Structure 1
């Protein structure tokens, strides 16, 4: 998710104008930027406190060299870098989408078909890494970005060359607990099969939402990785068999990536292919679409590709807001006056005696409940939780019906039939109900449109 720049953040790195924060860690911060030609990039900048650390600068330069070597469809391509300036930085093509960790944490495990597509893409990415005589050594859910057209493997910060003179020397334990191989945990020689083990852990996490070696203190998890069998009881077959083979303790017993790629491809149903987000569950695809829109909100229109500018002279409109967000905005505008009309209508009904007290109390209570559901839905939608859309649809429809009943009773029982207020409330609540139904049906229509394309 993109956040505004903070005081002290750079606004330009090299030729790239920076617009927002994308994230960061102990080694550096990542910013959203755009090239002079308008292309969006992710710029990783080393933290100021590490600029004078010669060993860290050497490792960052190694990361850049490793990333430059690796190609393929399922890795984040580096487009520029400068490791000699202060602070050092590198820029990669911007990929819109949540990490695998974020997607599973917020929306639950992926279905088996999506896990198969994920595994095939990551296997192909690792093949590209290994073809350059590198070992990634840090494949984990946080280093996998879920894009519309497939997963992307990122972060080569601890990648190691297999042809390095120190490759077979004793190595410190480097990696992420829970996703490192037994040989990595023991500080032994780390070769391509170590990445295969990590791939098995990542696929198990994607399918179940938990690590196959459990949680707990570091020493306990490392012990289970080295000595105990993984818990794959929640994995369906044949996915469990493939993941189990990847998690063999003996590196030589693990399958090769080409074999894995073929086996995983057979698990992908026909029609479930990359492109237009069709490989992911609908709620994750909606997150990708929402993030695209949010990112563009941080970038001035003149700096987008094809915007009217001295460098292009062309005018291309910015991408339209997603239809779900537009419908939600319409829903909020209609529901606000509807909420305000309810107490007005109740007062009018009491004044003319249109309703007896018990019935009036019932309608008032129901209106309050529906208004609360509507408010909760609005808050969830603001927090990017797609469940909020359904609560808004339910609450808005219920509130409209309750207000409509009150207004109808007032209209037909009032002695002043020329009073336009009840009629206005009826029209308003009808529009609210229609917007609620539209908001509920819109995602299904969008899914059919994507499948048709």
Structure 2
């Protein structure tokens, strides 16, 4: 991420821009925040496209179709908003806290076979969704593939066609894109001015080139010049050196010169993942540890960004915060969050007011605290879901939380019950979610019953890789209606050493769905977590 330059607008549509992420053939990409605090990627097109009415019309159609794909494809980044009529048209998509494939391979080298299988199966399923809505991606390449802990994401679907509609060609007549990943019909069609030559099989060829790059660390057509490279794409066999033998037949079939000879995206997905699809491959932990560590560092950068970047005053550009803001100031000072904008990972806020525990409740000796950033770094690097470090409440200018945020509401004033109601008892399971978009792991919650002031159960959370476990003991502090509040503290003997948050935190459980759903929220002096738990089976 790079700071905004003097010629970058501080706000695009309803999104405050925070950093530059990338610059491509279509435009610049920025990290942004929505008014409700969601982190987004905002792509603003280059001025040369903005003056072309054909581009604007095609851009509007492609974005509308891309919205449908984002709503149905499991391995695509959803399109959230767009404005084709803006002076510089733009589109906002969900932000994926992970590197693109080009960067990942450049940093760690060729990826393991299991990673390439999950990558190919997920991207093939994304193409099934793209083609199912009548779109052809036309620009499947490593920089358009993002790697998240919960699977790959194919981005920019449909947008490349809008660029082609503007008639923008390179000096050799080849349409904008990455020549090393273009199909033969794409190259020949561009040279002949025939965009109709491109169809769904084009995306399969490009995906084959992407998988070859992921498995071998280099593209299958390594020309030293653009002319030589394009000649190889059209006339020469691909170089499959370095690709593991078990992947070569499929990659070779995907790189067939004739479109009709290539497998369909569905066939590619089944060849790589079987009938179960890509999801089981991803759940098993699909990324190399070095890539997961990088995702953790990027998540921590987002924390630093909110602490180091001030909101734009009166539409001005963002700038450094002059001094750290304490937790009480963040909750009460109007300067902590600008009107209309709420950071997705905010300045620390105090825990919401909750009914006090009776005097008889035992006290817990204070434990040494690690800093939030250090704890979050450790948890995210390992992909852990240690309680109290995941979903972040967001202060509004008056101290109230933004709509849609995971908040703990104050229950109506009712007589405090001394016993944990029977409806809460038993085992509950569900997935936790980090507010920055990274899965937080799977929790098993066991409630055995008891009175206020007593230990009534425990929560066991496994990391997304299935390697480490954090077990928190729960002491009931109050019950009011369908809500129970607990103090939770790490059981160090039952937990993986050095990977869990050690300080005490507040946990709130709320019964929903006629007692069949338990909504989980944890409250930490700096952060919290959220999830929906169900009874197993």
What SS does the corresponding residue of 2:281 show, helix, strand or coil? Answer: coil
**Aligned mate of 2:207, from 199, 205, 209:** 199
Q: Is the 8 A contact 1:149 1:274 kept in 2?
A: yes
Mapped to 2, the partners of 1:282 and 1:247 lie a distance apart of 30
Pair 1:216 & 2:224 matched: yes
Q: Deviations over 1:36-79 (max 9, x none)?
A: 11111111123346533434434433442342231311111111
Q: 1:135 to 1:210 in 2, by over 3 A?
A: same
Q: 1:33 to 1:220 in 2, by over 3 A?
A: same
Pairwise CA distance, 1:273: 3.3
Mapped to 2, the partners of 1:318 and 1:50 lie a distance apart of 44
Q: Which moved more, 1:109-118 or 1:24-33?
A: 24-33
> Across the two proteins, how many residue pairs are aligned to each other?
323
Partner of 2:334: none
Q: Deviations over 1:392-446 (max 9, x none)?
A: xxxxxxxxxxxxxxxxxxxxxxxxxxxxxxxxxxxxxxxxxxxxxxxxxxxxxx9
Mapped to 2, the partners of 1:264 and 1:143 lie a distance apart of 20
Mapped to 1, the partners of 2:96 and 2:48 lie a distance apart of 28
Q: Is the 8 A contact 1:12 1:18 kept in 2?
A: yes
Q: 1:131 to 1:450 in 2, by over 3 A?
A: farther
Pair 1:449 & 2:456 matched: no
Mapped to 1, the partners of 2:136 and 2:82 lie a distance apart of 21
Unaligned runs of 5+ in 2: 166-172, 308-329, 331-336, 354-370, 382-464, 471-494, 497-537
Q: 1:267 to 1:222 in 2, by over 3 A?
A: farther
Following superposition of structure 1 onto structure 2, how do residues 115-194 of structure 1 map, counting pairs within 5 Å? 115-156=116-157, 158-160=159-161, 173-174=174-175, 175-187=177-189, 189-194=197-202
Q: Which moved more, 1:152-161 or 1:251-260?
A: 152-161
Mapped to 2, the partners of 1:41 and 1:63 lie a distance apart of 19
**Aligned mate of 1:299, from 285, 303, 306:** 306
Q: Is the 8 A contact 2:269 2:278 kept in 1?
A: no
The two structures, once aligned, show a CA RMSD in angstroms of 3.7
What SS does the corresponding residue of 1:103 show, helix, strand or coil? Answer: helix
Q: Is the 8 A contact 1:27 1:47 kept in 2?
A: yes
Partner of 2:27: 28
Q: Deviations over 1:228-272 (max 9, x none)?
A: 111113222221011011111111111112111111004999997
Q: Is the 8 A contact 1:137 1:195 kept in 2?
A: yes
Unaligned runs of 5+ in 1: 165-171, 327-445
The structure whose Rg is larger is 1
Q: Which moved more, 1:299-308 or 1:129-138?
A: 299-308
Q: Is the 8 A contact 1:57 1:83 kept in 2?
A: yes
Higher strand share: 2
Mapped to 2, the partners of 1:246 and 1:297 lie a distance apart of 43
Partner of 1:365: none
Mapped to 2, the partners of 1:141 and 1:155 lie a distance apart of 12
Partner of 1:374: none
Q: 1:89 to 1:204 in 2, by over 3 A?
A: same
Partner of 2:287: 280
Pairwise CA distance, 1:296: 2.9
Q: Deviations over 1:104-153 (max 9, x none)?
A: 01110101110000000000010011001111111000110111111111
Q: Is the 8 A contact 2:296 2:380 kept in 1?
A: no
Partner of 2:378: 323
Q: 1:290 to 1:308 in 2, by over 3 A?
A: closer
Q: Is the 8 A contact 2:302 2:345 kept in 1?
A: no
Following superposition of structure 1 onto structure 2, how do residues 34-113 of structure 1 map, counting pairs within 5 Å? 34-48=33-47, 50-71=49-70, 72-113=73-114
Q: 1:221 to 1:268 in 2, by over 3 A?
A: farther
Pairwise CA distance, 1:92: 0.7
What SS does the corresponding residue of 1:91 show, helix, strand or coil? Answer: strand
Partner of 1:438: none
Pair 1:229 & 2:226 matched: no
Higher helix share: 1
Pairwise CA distance, 1:8: 3.0
Q: Is the 8 A contact 2:250 2:268 kept in 1?
A: yes
Following superposition of structure 1 onto structure 2, how do residues 371-386 of structure 1 map, counting pairs within 5 Å? none
Q: Is the 8 A contact 1:272 1:279 kept in 2?
A: no
Pairwise CA distance, 1:314: 6.0
Mapped to 1, the partners of 2:263 and 2:15 lie a distance apart of 42
TM-score normalised by structure 2 residue count = 0.54
